[in-house]
Amino acid sequence: MELSDELLIPAPRGRVYTALQDPEILRLCIPGCEELTRLSDTELEAKVVLKIGPVKARFSGRVTLAPEAPPERFSLTGEGNGGVAGFAKGGAVVTLEERGEETLLRYEARADIGGKLAQLGSRLILGTAKKLAASFFEEFRRAVSSSPAIL
């Protein structure tokens, strides 16, 4: 499965980049996130509860951040296990382009899933993934633009 999108965030690129590295901001923005812990400068561990169609599962996983050209570009990879519900693994490339006092955020992501989740059908999975991504970025935009003092 592949996803891509772009959105304009009313904040300078440096603040957007910093927020994308902040576990507390990310925890508040990730749908269903119960816990997000920084293990190192480049590794995070997460616990997330998701419901996709009839399948509800608690996922535990790790995400590795790879700053390629901060603050313009970075990538991330991750994998999570939801027990009998299945697993997910994938990655994304994020680019941040300055637009005056705003930042254009673009991402291209890919994911592979297995287990019960893979049996749900690609249309349901893709639709849910798009809704989760839209929810994350709406919350992220709100957090970054409304609370400049947090960064």
pLDDT tens for 23-76 read 999 999 999 999 999 999 999 999 999 888 888 889 999 999 998 889 999 999
Among 16, 19, 62, which Cα is nearest to 39's?
Answer: 62
Contact 47, 58 (CB under 8 A): yes
Residue 61 confidence (pLDDT): 94
**Beta strand ranges found along 10-72 (DSSP E):** 33-38, 43-52, 55-69
SS3 of 76, please? Answer: strand
pTM: 0.86
- One-letter amino acid for residue 48 of the chain: V
Position of tokens 């941040």?
96
